[in-house]
Amino acid sequence: SETLLEVNDLKKHFTLGGGLFGRSGKVLKAVDGLSFTVDRGETLSLVGESGCGKSTVAKALMRLYRPTAGQVVLGGTRIDEMSDGALRPLRRRIQMVFQDPFSSLNPRMRVRAILAEPIRNFGLARNRADLDTRLAALMERVGLPRDALGRYPHEFSGGQRQRIGIARALAAEPDLIICDEAVSALDVSVKAQIVNLLCDLQKDLNLALLFISHDLAIVEHMTHRVAVMYLGKIVEIGPRRDLFLAPKHPYTQALLSAVPVPEPGAARTRIVLKGDVPSPIAPPSGCRFHTRCPHAFDRCRTEIPALDPVGRGHFAACHLNDIPSENGRSHLSSMA
């Protein structure tokens, strides 16, 4: 399969204001050395608690933020250093669906105008008739009636509005859609419908999805791979099945333990983490997870664990994975 997006050692640090000279000198390391790839037609889920840096990754990929360091390569072209002018023709290729379908759609524009905007901006329609054909096709793709084009966003439910948001992203004919908590604000049954819609689109159009969520349960049945983030870093990344069945990082294990299991009696033992996510302004030394990790030992406080291979295409950043299995640290192979 062909690599569509490559992110190499991406960093986004914010210097905080305040203090005598207008700067506190403090640096918020929202994203601190992230590397991952997304193949054409692949779904990668980026999962972690709020504040872990997921949305900052999305904004850096959309070039709403300039990265502090690192590379973003789209279809073989580095886009992180491009001028806005040079980037313009490539912008079409990455589109975003936002969390809040209420605030992300202009309330004064009819759906027709909302969807026509990207088609015009990127010069995709040959003429008026082609524009109309595209608009009708978009409505059908996202499961909305054609007469919805004449209505305003407030006339729709949250789920329908998210369908409009998806149609707007599709209008640009992207290769990759970033969904940032795109179903988090929706009711449970609507959530499933939108996730199913995204899955269908992904298959039919060979779209790549970067699915950002705080909720592992949502991605369990739709994603190809999962990357788990904690305090600006990926702590585990791997194929869905391996990550769900045999998570190798204690943080992933804790997140997974909260995911409901459909079969009765098969409940996972809940691992409750102590405390909140520490501030990314002063992250803990060594392994950033050590203040909350149920398995932390001395080395964890001083030495940063590397994201090392633990299986085929599966990587985890935890010192326990260095310990040979004869030592009996059986939690690494199973959390059941």
Q: How far is the CB of 300 from ligand SF4 (least distance, A)?
A: 3
Q: Is 161 in the site for ligand SF4 (CB under 6 A)?
A: no
Q: Is 318 in the site for ligand SF4 (CB under 6 A)?
A: yes
Shorter beta-carbon distance to ligand SF4: residue 212 or 316 = 316
Task: With contacts defined by CB under 5 A, name the span among 47-55, 240-248, 262-270, 274-282 that binds Mg ion.
Answer: 47-55
Name the DSSP letter for residue 219.
H
Phi, psi of 117 (to 5 degrees): -55, -55
The span from the CA of 39 to the CA of 35, in Å, is 14
Q: How far is the CB of 318 from ligand SF4 (least distance, A)?
A: 3
The span from the CA of 110 to the CA of 184, in Å, is 25
- Options 47, 289, 307, 310; binder of ligand SF4; rule CB under 6 A: 289
Instruction: Give the one entry of ligand SF4, Mg ion, none that residue 320 binds, where binding means its C-beta sits below a cut-off of 5 to 8 angstroms depending on kind.
Output: ligand SF4
- Options 305, 307, 314, 332; binder of ligand SF4; rule CB under 6 A: 305
- Options 139, 293, 307, 332; binder of ligand SF4; rule CB under 6 A: 293
Shorter beta-carbon distance to Mg ion: residue 95 or 160 = 95
Helix (H, G, I), strand (E, B) or coil at 46: strand
Q: How far is the CB of 181 from Mg ion (least distance, A)?
A: 6
- CA angle, 309 as apex, 66 and 176 as ends, to 5°? 40
Residue type, 336: A
The span from the CA of 242 to the CA of 38, in Å, is 18
- Options 4, 5, 12, 55; binder of Mg ion; rule CB under 5 A: 55
Q: Is 45 in the site for Mg ion (CB under 5 A)?
A: no
The span from the CA of 138 to the CA of 148, in Å, is 11
Element (H, E) at 160: helix 158-171
Shorter beta-carbon distance to ligand SF4: residue 38 or 47 = 47
Instruction: Give the one entry of ligand SF4, Mg ion, none that residue 134 binds, where binding means its C-beta sits below a cut-off of 5 to 8 angstroms depending on kind.
Output: none
Q: How far is the CB of 293 from ligand SF4 (least distance, A)?
A: 3
Per DSSP bridges, beta strands 308-311 and 233-239 are unpaired
Phi, psi of 171 (to 5 degrees): -55, -30
Strand arrangement, sheet containing 23-39: 23-39, 3-17, 69-74, 77-78
Instruction: Give the one entry of Mg ion, ligand SF4, none that residue 300 binds, where binding means its C-beta sits below a cut-off of 5 to 8 angstroms depending on kind.
Output: ligand SF4
The span from the CA of 235 to the CA of 220, in Å, is 18
- Options 74, 296, 332, 335; binder of ligand SF4; rule CB under 6 A: 296
Residues in touch with ligand SF4 (CB under 6 A)? 249-250, 287, 289-290, 293, 295-296, 300, 305, 318-320
